[in-house]
């Protein structure tokens, strides 16, 4: 009896020690993530680029490609390669046996936090996607958006399968990543150029909003395909119909739910009286999407669209911002940290195919969006090239595709790195190219003030 009690006490002590070491490892990982986010985002912002790019690049630097401060088992990294684990071994008495478990569980916690971060991000994007504006943009923006989704997706998928022999599921995922457009980055540059309220500017913004909606549907479909590991036409049709129906149902729900939500929120007098019910609704919608074999982020996006229709939208947006500022950077820095850019090193002959894939994706990413301007009709004298260029940047939306693809295991290291390089380059290229195709533009202060939400989204 005494021996049994002693063993139980020893096990409890060991579990407590392990819990302390795991917590320490997670906290150190968050320190690295937030430092990377702050430094990278600040530098990027000061040179006139979206901070999300700085977060991504900083993640690459602290991850498997460089400093090994933030590493993950799925990248093929051993615990001994993690500087955080080595630090704990030298300062906290972490044994090699425990190191394996701490390394695994620490990264599981960070990965879960990153997934929650992307759910919050899509909820926030939904809140910023004004349904009335979405319905009012007209046929021109709709055609531009459809061309901007169909052409890059078809060309990218077919090209990867034909020229590089990549199997269907990864090729479809990479093709889907090419469909994204970052409305925040484009709106920021257009407002600075004084072109936000021009015909070109309105078509670009309307098309980018529709493009986001179509992209989320495409992402839900391809992510579900990645889980099943096979392409079943019946399943694809089901996913497309269910994703479309889910969003349409959310829009219709918003017509009756928004007043109920406001009435319920007005009953609460404690702190968090609006944001907590909103998060309950967002998480419930995310669960519902996952339960019908769609991506949870589609449910979060739909929840944002529904609550965008309420009278409390602006107050809710203000309260969601600090939550997003805490959780969303974990997603972006983690995406960068998991990306091994070493597979694109030209000095290694085995990496040359990866470089060719990256070059191909970048070319399709640019050409596939530039030609969207040709879809505009009945607008004499309109700058079609500017419309196409405005659709080029992938930004945070492209990173969502890359992150979901990485988490699903559908992407090989070279293909994942190629997608990341495509996102970085298109986002870097878009601002100077927009300034080039809109010559002699003067900043429009009133236009810039008219879109504070889009401007803030560009600075995420």
327 token code pair: 């959780």
| Backbone torsion region of residue 34, taken as left when φ is above 0, otherwise alpha when ψ lies between -120 and 50, otherwise beta | alpha
Q: What spatial distance separates the first Cα and last Cα of the chain, rounded to whole Å? A: 60
User: Residue 188: what pLDDT?
Assistant: 65
CATH architecture assignment, domain 118-445: Up-down Bundle (1.20)
User: Do the beta carbons of residue 399 and residue 56 sit within 8 Å?
Assistant: yes
User: Residue 5: what pLDDT?
Assistant: 40
User: Residue 135: what pLDDT?
Assistant: 60
Count of C-beta atoms within a 10 Å radius of residue 432: 12
Contacts of residue 307, Cβ cutoff 8 Å, sequence gap at least 6: 126, 127, 254, 258, 261, 278, 281, 313, 316
Question: CA–CA separation, 456 vs 460, rounded Å?
Answer: 7
267 token code pair: 């009953």
Token match 């109920």: residue? 260
Contacts of residue 336, Cβ cutoff 8 Å, sequence gap at least 6: 55, 56, 57, 58, 59, 60, 61, 62, 63, 420
Could you state, in order of their start, the residue ranges of all structural domains in the chain?
Answer: 12-110, 118-445
Ranges of the chain with pLDDT below 70:
1-14, 74-76, 129-138, 183-185, 187-189, 191-192, 196-197, 228-232, 343, 395-397, 440-460
Please write down the HEC assignment for all residues of 151-204: HHHHHHHHHHHHHCCCCHHHHHHHHHHCCCCCHHHHHHHHHHHCCCCCHHHHHH
User: Residue 6: what pLDDT?
Assistant: 41
Question: CA–CA separation, 90 vs 105, rounded Å?
Answer: 19
Question: CA–CA separation, 75 vs 109, rounded Å?
Answer: 16
User: Residue 231: what pLDDT?
Assistant: 66
């Amino acid at each position: 009896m005494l021996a049994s009690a002693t063993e139980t006490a020893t096990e409890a002590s060991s579990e407590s020690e392990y819990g302390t070491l795991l917590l320490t490892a997670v906290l150190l990982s968050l320190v690295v993530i937030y430092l990377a986010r702050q430094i990278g985002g600040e530098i990027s912002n000061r040179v006139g680029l979206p901070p999300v790019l700085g977060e991504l690049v900083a993640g690459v630097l602290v991850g498997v490609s460089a400093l090994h401060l933030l590493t993950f088992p799925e990248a093929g990294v051993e615990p001994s390669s993690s500087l955080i684990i080595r630090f704990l071994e030298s300062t906290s008495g972490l044994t090699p046996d425990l190191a394996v478990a701490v390394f695994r569980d620490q990264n599981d916690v960070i990965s879960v936090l990153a997934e929650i971060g992307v759910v919050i991000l899509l909820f926030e994007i939904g809140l910023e996607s004004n349904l009335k504006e979405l319905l009012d943009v007209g046929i021109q923006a709709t055609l531009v958006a459809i061309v901007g989704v169909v052409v890059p997706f078809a060309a990218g998928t077919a090209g990867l399968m034909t020229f590089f022999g990549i199997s269907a599921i990864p090729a479809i995922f990479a093709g889907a990543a090419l469909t994204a457009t970052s409305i925040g980055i484009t709106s920021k540059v257009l407002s600075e150029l004084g072109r936000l309220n021009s015909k070109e500017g309105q078509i670009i913004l309307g098309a980018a909003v529709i493009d986001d909606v179509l992209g989320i549907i495409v992402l839900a479909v391809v992510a579900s395909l990645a889980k099943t590991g096979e392409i079943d036409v019946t399943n694809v049709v089901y996913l497309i119909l269910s994703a479309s129906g889910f969003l349409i149902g959310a829009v219709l729900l918003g017509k009756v739910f928004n007043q109920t939500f406001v009435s319920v929120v007005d009953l609460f007098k404690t702190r968090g009286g609006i944001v907590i019910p909103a998060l309950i609704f967002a998480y419930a919608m995310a669960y519902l999407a996952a339960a019908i074999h769609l991506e949870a982020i589609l449910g979060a996006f739909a929840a944002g669209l529904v609550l965008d229709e309420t009278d409390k939208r602006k107050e809710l947006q203000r309260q969601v911002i600090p939550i997003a500022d805490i959780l969303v950077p974990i997603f972006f820095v983690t995406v960068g940290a998991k990306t091994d850019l070493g597979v694109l090193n030209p000095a290694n002959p085995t990496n040359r195919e990866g470089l060719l894939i990256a070059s191909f994706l970048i070319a399709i990413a640019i050409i596939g969006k530039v030609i969207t301007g040709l879809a505009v009709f009945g607008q004499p004298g309109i700058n079609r090239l500017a419309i196409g260029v405005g659709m080029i940047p992938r930004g945070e939306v492209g990173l969502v595709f890359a992150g979901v693809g990485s988490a699903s295991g559908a992407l090989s290291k070279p293909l994942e790195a190629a997608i990341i390089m495509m996102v970085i380059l298109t986002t870097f290229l878009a601002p100077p190219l927009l300034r080039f195709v809109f010559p002699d533009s003067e900043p429009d202060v009133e236009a810039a003030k008219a879109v504070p939400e889009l401007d803030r989204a560009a600075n995420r």
